[in-house]
Structure 1
């Protein structure tokens, strides 16, 4: 008997998208998976249809922008160059299940599904993905809202990263979502011992303007000699000047080191050598206010203490498991205050609590939910 045929659409670079890679690991248990998106073929898929990385996944051509401006959404939903190319690559293939990662993939998913069930993994809150950017807020946000209103009620299963965002999807579009967090696999690690005269801060992620990495650097400079900061930064396309500004600022202190990025699979073991994971994100969008990012779970699995700026979902987990401190604001002064009172005993306790929490804050529950979704949809 032939295995079900599953299509996974993601307008991200598959090999750099840890959420989609975890999703694929579950999909491959149930059928032969075809992927369409940017970058090389993920391991284990039956077929990969690669889209040229230069093709944008939103309608950014002159014609596409004009249609967005006049809100001619029905005529623009397949206009994005990457969407057109994906449609060509898929051709007349047929599938038993189609997975759309994020709202921008929904129109294509429903088009190629031809009646097969569609699972929409919305990741975050689609209508406000990048509303801190004026052009996105004026042109793309209304289009994303239209896509969600048009397609989510017809989508057989919907998932998102946390309960707060699930409530938004139900309130605004009348759809119930399953929760699939950004948690990684349980890692076979233990808290690393503390150095007697050091508290080793660490941060990993994209060097993207708005992520406030400069706040981490300036706060470390103001902290006492106990504190060091190590940064594992991914260069963002088009943000070379910002990355260089971070490198230059870090070079002014011998307690701050900038490293090359680390592959997602290796990150927890690399972070494990440190003591406190730090992250500050000003709430410029709804997704920022309701964040539950990959790095939260990476740091827990690395058995680190946490110091995060306040956000609804991360605050709840930090307090529930007693994982660290919450900075009440988003500036240098608030972060210095949150960090400066940490003692070695505090950090040791938080790291030990992370070790306990790691048994819960991992991907096992998410994979169970994904397996339930897939089983239910394929049974149709």
Structure 2
């Protein structure tokens, strides 16, 4: 039986893309081992980053200030479970390394086990990830660029999440990634819910200040009384989450308890319009094509967005929603106000017809092709 190590710089239980990788390799009959920030499950798990003593925390700060990228990689590897992973026998046939931070670990493993094949999955354009933040540009941009330049060539296969980011990787690093969309599992039993007198909007995701969720709260001031906004947010920034709650007081807005990742599409099926207004404050936001967009599709919701490049292409091509001319909340509110109940019913039916097309079914075929190519 073949063995795979899946590495992710995330809490694996809440990372939809990584969870789909786990499901895929389970279906293919692999023995699966995981390495990440945290994991609550039954599969063998190894800690990606171990606690650091004060001396190492001070040392890392100095390394970051003076941009000592090679030393920063060694410091990172020192605090991983690399030694434990190397003792696993038999070793792995394949390593899938999600996020640029994990690529040095996969590459170091290959130095010790040259026959192992590496698949690197770039969920973002890492060298441009938080280009709107001065502190990130000072401490992390150079390191992210170093990781991309140094380690992408080591991979046997390189993946990313959308065309725009793939094209930028090709331009910057002379590599042509395979695009694997953030599409969830197909939900064949779901159909569009009935549109009632109150038209239900839904936005879900993390309460992250850079996403400017307050804009869609302000947007409710411009919408007709027939619209209600539902917010299902993970309070990763508790202070920001409470600010959003306070800002919503007196408005037609409900805050909902989050559901587990794999249940999102089923839960939000009860609503009418999936809402996402993402100001393009950095490169990755400009080309955003996130999980939530495809969860809207599986939930059979009409979609209302700003003119985000990658999402806009699909919305207009498939006729599944509306796109504002700008990222101004008043502009999007005007577009939503112009929708009749009948318009929304038609849009939801259009979404229903393309739900399987934008599901994980296609990604399964892509991954099978990757395995047949790199493990031949």
Question: Same fold per TM (> 0.5)?
Answer: yes
Q: CA RMSD in A?
A: 1.9
Task: Normalising by structure 1, report the TM-score.
Answer: 0.92
TM-score (norm 2): 0.93
User: Displacement, 1:315?
Assistant: 0.6
Q: Does residue 62 in structure 1 map to residue 58 in structure 2?
A: yes
Match of 2:39 in 1: 40
Q: What is the deviation of 1:88?
A: 4.2
Matches within 5 A, 1:159-198: 159-187=159-187, 188-195=189-196, 197-198=197-198
Say if 1:64 and 1:80, in contact at 8 Å, map to a contact too. no
The alignment partner of 2:233 has SS state of strand
* Aligned equivalent of 1:258: 255
Give the whole-Å Cα distance in 2 for the aligned partners of 1:51 and 1:179.
26
Q: Which structure 2 residue ranges, 5 or more long, are not aligned?
A: none
Deviation, 1:53, is 8.4
> 2:315 pairs with 313, 318, 332, which one?
318
1:87 aligns with 2:95: no
Indicate conservation of the 8 Å contact 1:289/1:312, yes or no. Answer: yes
| 2:229 paired with 1:229 | yes
Alpha-carbon spacing, 1:66–1:50, altered in 2? closer, same or farther (3 Å): closer
Establish whether residue 275 from structure 1 lines up as the match of residue 272 from structure 2: yes
Instruction: List runs of 5+ in structure 1 lacking aligned partners.
Output: none
> Cα deviation per residue 1:178-223 (whole Å; 9 max; x = unaligned)?
111100011121001111x221111111011021221111111321
* Partners of 2:108 and 2:40 in 1: CA distance: 23
Show structure 1 runs of 4+ deviating over 6 A.
52-55
Distance 1:122 1:153 in 2: 13
Deviation at 1:41, TM superposition (A): 4.3
Contact 1:41 1:50 in 2 (8 A): no
Task: State the alpha-carbon separation in 1 of the partners of residues 50 and 233 from structure 2.
Answer: 21
Write out per-residue CA displacement over residues 130-152 of structure 1, whole angstroms, 9 at most, x where no aligned residue: 22222211121111111111111
Contact 1:203-1:277 within 8 A present in 2 as well: yes
**Secondary structure, in 3 states, of the residue corresponding to 1:85?**
coil
8 Å CA contact retained: 1:229, 1:257: yes
Report the CA distance shift for 1:252/1:80 in structure 2 as closer, same or farther (over 3 A). Answer: farther
Contact 1:180–1:369, Cα closer than 8 Å, also in 2: yes
Contact 2:49–2:79, Cα closer than 8 Å, also in 1: no
**Aligned pairs, number:** 367
Do the aligned partners of 2:49 and 2:81 also contact (CA within 8 Å) in 1? no
Q: CA deviation at 1:89?
A: 3.8
Partners of 1:51 and 1:322 lie apart in 2 by 43
Residue number among 240, 243, 246 corresponding to 2:244 in the alignment: 246
Structure 2 residue 13 is matched with structure 1 residue 15: yes
Aligned residue in 1 for 2:118: 118
Hey, what's the Cα distance between the residues in 2 that align with 1:373 and 1:260? Answer: 38
